[in-house]
């Protein structure tokens, strides 16, 4: 009898802890685009044949609805903020396993090739984990990335967002709203738009100093890119790789961008994929630094519309025609 009483009390405390933990998670974990993106993906599951992956540069730039019209496909943008190349790899693998993928557009970010310690810190991401639908790929990703201490972050997401506790009330308000519960776009400055694309008309001056040198690139990223090429080739998927345009000021602040560009062009030739760096698009002047960017590197909605026109032209053109669209520096 004593044991039953004791176990009941213990169960009550554990249950209370689970409820409290759930409530804290609900309040502290911010509203994330995954909520809509996963709902969209599952809804369109049998139709998706084109996948777009990359980091926030891609998330704010590639509009699936505009791509569909020109490329005659049904695309889904699964780019996420700060997505690493190996995370893109697992997403591609997951989409190949679950959907009927024919084409992949991989958006690169030069910064990932920058040889800096921050780029080594590529641990388990719960956002990527959430986006992986295939149990096999999920297990593979966990095998690769999981460290015992991740258990705290996975079980209790709030610990990652404790510094945003002041936003708890607004999180709760949004999560309880009709729009959120019914997967409708929120009336906010940056809002989930459609099939992974996030639309914003924000236009902020860049204040962050940027002084990087790409003379020595990270070899790990190229290895990962090769692995991605092999994955696509093995599954008969066409791979297209690109870099979104950035403000001139940002381009000027990067030393030896040409080293990165040449490495990518060489690799595209040797591995047989198309690489388009839209920083060198011939009509680049049409993209105003003043109105088309969120900051120095991210396009806003206005910029995205112009960019999508270039994007579709570049990737639907023949190799020869495509070459004529870009003005890459020689040497």
Partner 1 sequence: MTVFTSAGFIILFVLLMIVYFVVPKKAQTPILLAFSYGFYFMVSRKLPVYMLITTAVTYLSALLLQRITDGQKTYLDDKKAELTGDEKKEIKRKFEKRRKLVLVIGLVINFSFLAFFKYTDFLLDNACSLLANLGLNVEHQALNLVLPLGISFYTFQSTGYMIDVYRKKVAAERNLPKLALFVSYFPQIIEGPIGRFDRLASQFDQKHSFSFDRLKKGICLILWGCVKKLIIADNLAPLVNGISENYSQFGGSQILIGMLFYGIQLYADFSGYMDMASGYSKILGIEIAENFRRPYFSTSLAEFWRRWHISLCSWFKDYLFYPVFMSKGLMKLGKKLRAKGHREAAKNVPTFISMAVVWFLTGLWHGACWPEIVWGFSNGLIMIFSLQFAKAYDGVNKALRIKTDSAVWKCFRIVRTYLLVTLLNFICTFATFRDSLSAFAIMIKNPVPAYLSVSYLFPGIIDRGIVTLAVTLLACLTLFFVSLYEEKKNVLLYEAIMKKSWIVQGLVFILLLFFVLVFAVGGENGLSGGFMYAQF
Report the interface residues with partner 1, using CB under 8 A: 6, 9, 12-13, 16-17, 20-21, 24, 28, 148-153, 156, 158-166
Helix (H) or strand (E) holding 122: none
Give which of 206, 278, 275 is closest to 246, Cα–Cα: 278
Q: Cβ closer to partner 1: 162 or 318? A: 162
Distance between CA 143 and CA 147 in Å, rounded? 9
Q: Cβ closer to partner 1: 161 or 180? A: 161
Q: Is 240 helix (H, G, I), strand (E, B) or coil?
A: strand
CB of 36 to partner 1, least distance (A): 23
Q: Cβ closer to partner 1: 152 or 201? A: 152
CB of 4 to partner 1, least distance (A): 13
Q: Do 159 and 24 touch, CB atoms closer than 8 A?
A: no
Q: Cβ closer to partner 1: 44 or 161? A: 161
Distance between CA 86 and CA 227 in Å, rounded? 9
CB of 207 to partner 1, least distance (A): 17
- Return the structure tokens found at 132: 């992986």
CB of 196 to partner 1, least distance (A): 23
CB of 263 to partner 1, least distance (A): 31
Contacts of 325 (CB under 8 A, 6+ apart): 276, 281, 282, 310, 313, 314, 317
Count other Cβ atoms within 10 Å, centred on residue 205.
8
């Amino acid at each position: 009898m004593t044991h039953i009483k004791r176990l009941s009390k213990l169960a009550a405390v554990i249950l209370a802890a689970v409820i409290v933990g759930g409530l804290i998670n609900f309040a502290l974990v911010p509203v994330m685009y995954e909520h809509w993106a996963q709902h969209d993906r599952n809804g369109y599951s049998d139709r998706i044949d084109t996948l777009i992956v990359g980091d926030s540069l891609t998330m704010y730039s590639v509009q699936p609805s505009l791509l569909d019209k020109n490329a005659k496909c049904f695309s889904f943008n699964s780019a996420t903020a700060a997505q690493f190349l190996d995370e893109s790899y697992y997403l591609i693998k997951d989409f190949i396993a679950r959907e009927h993928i024919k084409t992949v557009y991989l958006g690169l970010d030069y910064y990932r090739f920058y040889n800096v310690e921050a780029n080594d810190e590529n641990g388990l991401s719960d956002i990527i984990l959430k986006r992986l639908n295939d149990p096999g790929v999920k297990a593979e990703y966990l095998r690769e990335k999981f460290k015992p201490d991740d258990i705290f972050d996975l079980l209790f997401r709030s610990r990652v967002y404790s510094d945003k506790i002041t936003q708890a009330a607004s999180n709760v308000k949004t999560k309880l709203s009709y729009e959120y519960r019914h997967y409708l776009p929120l009336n906010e400055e940056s809002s989930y738009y459609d099939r992974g694309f996030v639309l914003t008309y924000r236009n902020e001056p860049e204040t962050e100093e940027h002084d990087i040198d790409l003379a020595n690139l990270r070899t790990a990223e190229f290895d990962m890119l090769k692995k991605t090429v092999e994955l696509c080739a093995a599954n008969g998927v066409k791979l297209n790789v690109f870099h979104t345009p950035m403000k001139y000021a940002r381009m000027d602040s990067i030393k030896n961008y040409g080293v990165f560009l040449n490495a990518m062009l060489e690799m595209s030739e040797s591995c047989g994929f198309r690489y388009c760096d839209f920083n060198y698009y011939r009509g680049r002047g049409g993209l105003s630094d003043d109105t088309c960017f969120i900051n120095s590197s991210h396009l806003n909605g206005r910029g995205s519309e112009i960019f999508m026109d270039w994007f579709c032209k570049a990737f639907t053109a023949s190799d020869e025609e495509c070459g004529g669209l870009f003005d890459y520096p020689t040497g």
